[in-house]
Structure 1
Amino acid sequence: MERFQPVSAKVDFPAQERDLLRWWQQERLVERYIHRNAASLVRWSFLDGPITANNPMGVHHAWGRT
């Protein structure tokens, strides 16, 4: 029994991104996210990912946000 299914070595990343964005729109994920957190006292936004997800923060991370 194989653990993983075979995958193609030729991936069409732009097509995958379009499919993913289409799915986000069909499922109304952004609207649901905003609605779910509308009454929250704490505001969080990680749509672009946390700066320090993989490494310690550097001063250059803050430069682009000031």
Structure 2
Amino acid sequence: MLLIAFVLAAPLAWWVMTQWLHSFVYRIELSAGSFALAMLITFIVAFLTVGFCSVKAAMTNPEKTLQTE
């Protein structure tokens, strides 16, 4: 799902950023490396979040959960 979201969002982000950067006197060009770095950071954050929630759910005592319901 993250890959699909990145494929859909990257061209739009490139276009918006290019339009915005053209308004500055000193211009830079966007590279594929910046998008790859953003994708890598997104995957790392998602992996850590899902991993943390999975470990937390695995360590939870089912007896406590069933008592509250």
Superposition TM-score, scaled by structure 1 size: 0.35
**Pair member with larger Rg:** 2
* Bigger RCO of structures 1 and 2 (CA < 8 A, at least 6 apart): 2
Superposition TM-score, scaled by structure 2 size: 0.34
Q: Report which of the two has the higher share of helix.
A: 2
